[in-house]
Amino acid sequence: MTKRSKHVAIAIVGAAAFTLAGCREEQVDASAFPDLQSCVDQSRSGGMFSQQDCETAFSEAEALHVEAAPRYDSLAVCEEQHGQGACGSEAQATSGGSGSIFMPLLAGYLMGNMLGGRSGMAAAQPLYKTPDGRFTNASRSTTFSTNSGSAKLNTSQFVRPTSTVGKAPMSRATASSRGGFGSSGSGRSSFGG
């Protein structure tokens, strides 16, 4: 009976280790760019992404920006969360939104090489300034020290953020109760040069 218990225990420990290894999140090569031209310049010098990848990812980041950027009920609240001069009206950003709703300006974009290798399938996320001079993605899952460089990032960085279109904009009280837009990120990361 003892022999059988040892084999069962070993099998359970082995299965648990295999399960934990399977739960580890996949990492992908990623780069952040302050603008499309920076990515295109990188592609011309033999970087990880092609010019087509850059253009496609930038378009995706712009579309996600319009769909998922945080929205605020005043310019003052937006600038408290993103810094002086880092916000504009929804009407300017979306070509038809409300002039009384404010959004952060797109401060760059994050690209991930989801298939590996040059010209793999690239995924993108918009980046926004935080009041302390850092950058964060639309879902606030990570804060970055810069909006340019390369690193290995978890694939979760490229999960589609929740849409904010048509939802009530955040007031000062709402933004404060959430700890501010850029301060509630669960992770911090830096990009290498």
Helices (H) and strands (E) in the chain, counts: 6, 9
Tell how far CA 162 is from the center of its chain.
12
- Identify the pLDDT of residue 19: 40
| Residues near 82 by beta carbon (within 8 Å), at least 6 away in sequence | 104, 105, 128, 129, 130, 131, 181, 182
**pLDDT bucket at 15, cuts 50 / 70 / 90:** very low
Q: What is the pLDDT of residue 95?
A: 74
Q: How buried is 28 (Cβ within 10 angstroms: 0-12 exposed, 13-18 middle, 19+ buried)?
A: buried
The pLDDT tens digits for 131-140 are: 899 999 887 7
What is residue 166's predicted lDDT score, i.e. its pLDDT?
87
Among 152, 148, 124, residue whose Cα is nearest residue 138: 124
Helix or strand (DSSP H, E) at 99 = none
**Which residues are paired to 109 by β-bridges?**
33, 126
**Paired tokens of 27:** 């990492």
Query: Quick one: how far is CA 51 from the chain centroid?
Result: 21
List the structure tokens of 104.
């952060």
- Which is more confidently placed, 62 or 181? 62
In 155-185, which positions are buried (b, 16+ CB within 10 angstroms) versus exposed (e)? Answer: eebbeebeebeeeebbeeeebeeeebbbbeb
